Amino acid sequence: MISEQSARRRVSVLGATGSVGRSTMELIAEAPDRFQVEALTAYSNVDVLADLARRFGARFVAIGDPARYRALKQALDGAPCEVAAGPEGLEAAAARDSDWLMAGIVGAAGLSATLSAVRRGALVAFANKEVLVSAGRLMMEEVARAGATLLPVDSEHNAIFQVFEEQNRGAIDRLILTASGGPFRTRPRESLAQVTPAEAVAHPNWDMGAKISVDSATMMNKGLEVIEAHYLFAMPAEKIEVLVHPQSVIHSMVAYSDGSFLAQLGAPDMRIPIAHALAWPRRLKTQSPVLDLAAVARLDFEPPDETRFPALRLAREALAAGPWAPPVMSAANEEAVAAFLQGRIGFLDVTEVVERVVSATAPADPDSIEAVVALDGEARRRASEAIDRLTPATS
Ligand code: NAD
Ligand code: MG
């Protein structure tokens, strides 16, 4: 009989070809005695997905884009794994019986697959923040019902998770989410209209996917994170503070009523929070650079500037408005960021589109996942109309 200590953790990775997904696969590769791969998914990158599936001996592989099913099937010809496609394929991958699953898809597209892992009571490493922003209340109810465990992967939430004393919940004054301030922290607002997609995705501290990089530049990322923290830690918005900290060394803090601040520090490297979630409740050795505080020498802090970066204010307003507003805001933001990355709208238009869509939407009470999905679709239609109006006609 295999003892608890020597059994390998069976892991699945949704979004295995992305930035978080690739870091996760790298960590798994470094500890073959501790992990074995059950299921892997990606949206369209057949070559990388098939390569990972063969290398790691995955048993189930799903591609989000149904048009790529045949290509994936061919690429995995002879490999001992099942192949699936489309949203049902992603859900089936998440439903496979793994101990641990990385929710590493970007955007609300990850909702149904993540939900399917939650519903089977898995340990779910949570990177896909848009899912909690869209359906936070419903998702946390499902987590409680199924006895699932969410392990926060977003560096701020992972930091808070590491220093959050559940037994002293009542003595928590506030959560302090740190923010790097993004690539335009010191730029005057007038100059931001001219920012190009290439400038916006060049983050000073973190190497991430395109969407979250643009969100960091507008600071919508921090707004999404305030909402994410509200649901993950069941804390009211007024107890969640944002503090700009350009060095990204302190990843977040919990302030207790006795005056103690507990923080988690580390090099700005996503492999650290991912490794924490992967091995939880144990620890894993990583190849990440070790934090050298003497070399960092100083840590700076400043309040966020909501005039230059209104996205943070929008997110707080959305959270206060009711459970219909965060999914609308987040879906409109996904559409606006995609349009900005395609060069269709300017950088400042991104937040502008989001604000217009939220204010044009009537309050509702989404009491099911289907209702959230409907709100999401409506917000995307409104956003694409707003984007069309901003896009100069080309014909
Ligand atoms: P990414 O764009 O690099 O990767 C996204 C992954 O999701 C890819 O594997 C892609 O194939 C898959 N995907 C995209 N659209 C899909 C769809 N419609 N259906 C199914 N799969 C789809 O993104 P990322 O930077 O790795 O971010 C993933 C999530 O983690 C995001 O929610 C992001 O906010 C969060 N996050 C990322 C970082 C980071 O360092 N990259 C840090 C904190 C949080
Ligand atoms: Mg973060």
DSSP 330-360: HHHHHHHHHHHHTTSS-HHHHHHHHHHHHHT
What mean pLDDT comes out for the span 131-156? 98
- DSSP characters for 156-188? HHHHHHHH--GGGGGGEEEEEEEE---TTTTS-
Ligand 1 contacts CB of residue 272 (under 6 A)? no
351: closest CA among 215, 224, 241, 243?
215
- Tell whether the model's pLDDT for residue 186 goes beyond 70: yes
Residue 24 CB neighbours (<10 A): 28
| Percent with pLDDT over 70 in the chain | 98
Minimum CA distance residue for ligand 1 atom 28: 106
Any domain includes 149: yes
CA of residue 18 to ligand 1 center, whole Å = 5
Burial of 343 (0-12, 13-18, 19+ CB in 10 A): exposed
pLDDT value of residue 177? 98
Specify if 88 maps to a domain.
Answer: yes
- Ligand 1 in reach of 129 Cβ (< 6 A): yes
Query: Which residue is associated with the tokens 């502008």?
Result: 352
> Residue 204: what pLDDT?
87
Nearest CA to ligand 1 atom 23: 209
C-beta of 42 in contact with ligand 1 (< 6 A): yes
The values of phi and psi at residue 242, to 5°, are -115, 135
Average pLDDT, the chain: 96
Longest Cα–Cα distance of the chain, Å, equals 70
Residue 17 is assigned to a structural domain of this protein: yes
Which CATH number does the domain housing residue 13 bear?
3.40.50.720
CA distance 393 to 141: 46
Domain membership of residue 183 (yes or no) is no
| Strand 250-256, strand 172-179: pairing | antiparallel
Instruction: Provide the pLDDT confidence category of residue 237 given band limits of 50, 70 and 90.
Output: very high
> How many A from CA of 204 to the centre of ligand 1?
19
Ligand 1 centre distance from Cα of residue 257 (Å): 36
- Residue 209 CB less than 6 A away from ligand 1: yes
∠ at Cα 41 (34, 23), nearest 5°?
Answer: 50
Tens digit of each residue's pLDDT (9 = 90 or more) over 81-95: 999 999 999 999 999
Is 138 close to ligand 1, i.e. is its CB under 6 Å away?
Answer: no
19 lines ligand 1 (CB under 6 A): yes
Residue 296 lies in a domain: no
Averaged pLDDT, 238-251: 98
Determine the angle formed by the axes of helices 155-163 and 271-279, rounding to 10 degrees: 50
Look at residue 267 and tell me whether its pLDDT is greater than 60.
Answer: yes
Q: How far is the CA of 209 from the centre of ligand 1 (A)?
A: 6
* 288 close to 269: Cβ distance less than 8 angstroms: yes
130 lines ligand 1 (CB under 6 A): yes
Which of 81, 98, 80, 97 lies closest to 10, judged by CA? Answer: 98
Mean pLDDT lowest for which of 38-52, 197-211, 313-327?
A: 197-211
- Ligand 1 proximity of 89 Cβ (cutoff 6 Å): no
Tell me the pTM: 0.97
Judge if the beta carbon of residue 350 lies within 6 A of ligand 1: no
Evaluate: CB of 106 within 6 angstroms of ligand 1: yes
How far apart CA 15 and CA 337 sit, in angstroms, is 19
Q: Which two tokens stand for residue 35?
A: 């992990």
Question: Alpha helices, DSSP H only, in the chain?
Answer: 19-30, 46-56, 69-75, 86-95, 111-119, 129-146, 155-163, 189-192, 197-201, 210-218, 220-232, 271-279, 293-296, 311-321, 325-341, 347-359, 369-390
Q: Judge whether 108 lies within some domain.
A: yes
Q: Each residue of 322-372: pLDDT tens digit?
A: 999 999 999 999 999 999 999 999 999 999 999 999 999 999 999 999 999
Best of 102, 106, 337 for a ligand 1 pocket test (most atoms within 8 Å of beta carbon): 106
Mean pLDDT calculated for residue range 232-249: 98
Per-residue pLDDT, averaged over 101-121, amounts to 98
Q: How many independent structural domains does the chain possess?
A: 1
* Residues 286 and 275 sit within 8 Å (Cβ to Cβ): yes
Residues of the domain holding 111: 9-153
The protein residue whose alpha carbon is closest to atom 41 in ligand 1 is: 208
> Does the CA dihedral 190-192-193-195 come out positive or negative?
positive
Which residue type, as a one-letter code, is found at position 21? G
**Is 82 within the bounds of a domain?**
yes
pLDDT at 6: 60
How many angstroms is it from 92 CA to the middle of ligand 2?
28
Structure tokens at 73: 């099937």
* Ligand with the closest atom to the CA of 180: 2
Q: What pLDDT does residue 393 have? A: 65
CB 105 less than 6 A from any atom of ligand 1: yes
Ligand nearest 215 Cα, by number?
Answer: 1
104 within ligand 1 shell (Cβ under 6 A): yes
pLDDT at 162 over 80: yes
Has residue 226 got a pLDDT over 60? yes
What is the pLDDT, as a whole number, of residue 179? 97
DSSP-derived letter for residue 83 is E
Give the pLDDT confidence score for residue 2 in this predicted structure: 47
CA–centroid distance, 330 to ligand 1, in Å, is: 14
**What does each C-alpha distance from 174 to 134, 158, 229, 237 come to in angstroms?**
23, 16, 11, 9
Residue with tokens 């359906």: 135
Burial 270-280 (b: 16+ CB within 10 A, else e): bbbbbbbbbbb
In a domain, 312, yes or no: no
Q: Beta-carbon neighbour count of residue 241 at 10 Å?
A: 16
93-97, 119-123, 204-208: least confident range: 204-208
Residues, beta carbon < 5 Å, ion ligand 2: 154-156
Q: Is the CB of 43 under 6 A from ligand 1?
A: yes
| 57 close to 8: Cβ distance less than 8 angstroms | no
Ligand 1 within 6 A of 304 CB? Answer: no
Measured distance CA(316)–CA(20) in Å, rounded:
26
